[in-house]
Amino acid sequence: MAVSAARSVAFEILLRVERDDSYASELLHSDSLSNLSARDRGLTTELVMGALRWQSMLDQRLAAASSQKLDRLDGEVLVALRLGAYQLQFFSRVPARAAIFESVELVKVARKRSAAPFVNAVLRKLSKTKAGDVFAQIAESPDAPTLAASTAHPPWLVARWIDRYGIEVARKICVHDQMVPGTAVHIYGDRSQVEAELVAAGVQLAPGRLLSSARRVLSGDVTSARAYREGLLSIQDEASQLVALLAGRGESILDCCAAPGGKTNVVARRNLGAKVFATELYPHRARLLRNLIRLPNVHVVAADARRLPFLSKFDHILADVPCSGTGTLARNPEIKWRLKPEDLSDLQSRQIAILQSALARLAIGGRLVYSTCSLEPEENEAVVEAICRGAANCEIVDIMPEIEQLSRADELTLEDIASLVVRPYLRTIPGVHPCDGFFTAMIERR
């Protein structure tokens, strides 16, 4: 019996994530899934994301059942073990013998046939235990090491969150990270017409929890709908959409870290009479950005945001900078296994350089929106305050009036808008708010 297509593709994706530092979310939308049925695509996604979310817990249990140290195993063997372990521990609908058999076959196909008996023995031993109710265990976690172990997070990261947000909020973040995140879309143009097309395509929608312009996808495949292919909507978390709304309206606008383009699209469509410039460091991603945003007022430039190639000034700038992504771990679980504490200082240096470059292009009286999808202060307040502290030509402005204006205009539908603001900044927290974790600051040029 051959290995199922879904498990075979899941194995290849997990191997690339492990070996090449690839991102699972990108690979799950690549051509490798094009020949799979909708059911198999769903299974592949569940296997990949589940194995990554619970990786440290799976490794702990595999280590207890293994006669060899996991760090000495070939990558193919370790990935096959994790894939089998995830099914044994979390899949009640998959017979243990099937999960074990397919993992054994995967190492054979990967030319690691000599490891097949070892994989079989480890998984058979592991099959005698179940994970139990992991979320009940999380609720009882009293400290950082216990919470980290029960939610499959790095202890250093959980300890930071407890110090900054308290144990209860840290627990909510960790629980959120282990759940399948919802899909939100931003609809452009005639909302009712696009919604009708999506419903006709079998997509079930619900109102956004944060924004009136957002819709949550309850079921169906948005990417197969004609409206999606024609660029009438984009898949975008509601917090990300909110950042784009906060970029405001102007005559000359710069999005200096534009890819993948969701925020640029929102900003450009709200400012059809403006000139919008979007920069992206890598030429191939700049080309993708041009294909995505089909608007005559958008000009895409391949450029390093730390050295922006513009002589003119802009009245509005969006700097949604590269960051650790700790506010998006539910969507990108591999980040938590790659990120190291020392990475934060390296990221901060790059973020400061981008913000300095962007501010140099901001017109007097103009406004810059700085944002990250990080929960870490080194990438957020510390960056903004390092630039603006003592500077005579820029000022951090309170973001609350902008939030209140969006609420009065019925664009922001969340009732407890005060929870979004830690003066003078916007901060959304996964598990506390119905979206990813984002930080946003507004800076004005004097």
pLDDT, tens only, 3-48: 899 999 999 999 999 999 899 999 998 888 888 998 999 999 999 9
% of residues, the chain, pLDDT over 70: 98
Q: Does position 317 have pLDDT exceeding 80, yes or no?
A: yes
**For range 393-410, the mean pLDDT:** 95
Confidence band for 136, pLDDT divided at 50, 70 and 90: low
**For range 297-320, the mean pLDDT:** 96
Q: Does position 81 have pLDDT exceeding 80, yes or no?
A: yes
Each domain of the chain, given as residue ranges in start order, spans: 5-126, 134-177, 183-235, 238-445
CB count within 10 Å of CB 338 equals: 13
Q: What is the pTM of this model?
A: 0.94
Q: Does position 141 have pLDDT exceeding 90, yes or no?
A: no
Structure tokens given for 63:
């280590």
**CATH of the domain spanning 183-235:** 3.30.70.1170
pLDDT of 154 reads 97
pLDDT of 84 reads 97
pLDDT of 32 reads 82
Confidence band for 188, pLDDT divided at 50, 70 and 90: confident
Mean pLDDT, all residues of the chain: 93
Q: Does position 130 have pLDDT exceeding 80, yes or no?
A: no
**For range 355-382, the mean pLDDT:** 97
Q: Does position 420 have pLDDT exceeding 70, yes or no?
A: yes
What angle (nearest 5°) sits at the alpha carbon of residue 24, between those of residues 159 and 99?
Answer: 95
Q: Do domains 183-235 and 238-445 have the same CATH topology?
A: no
Radius of gyration of the chain (CA): 23
Confidence band for 232, pLDDT divided at 50, 70 and 90: confident
Domain 238-445 CATH superfamily = Vaccinia Virus protein VP39 (3.40.50.150)
Confidence band for 137, pLDDT divided at 50, 70 and 90: low
Measured in degrees and rounded to the nearest 5, phi and psi for residue 111 equal 65, 35
Confidence band for 436, pLDDT divided at 50, 70 and 90: very high
**For range 160-185, the mean pLDDT:** 96
**CATH of the domain spanning 5-126:** 1.10.940.10
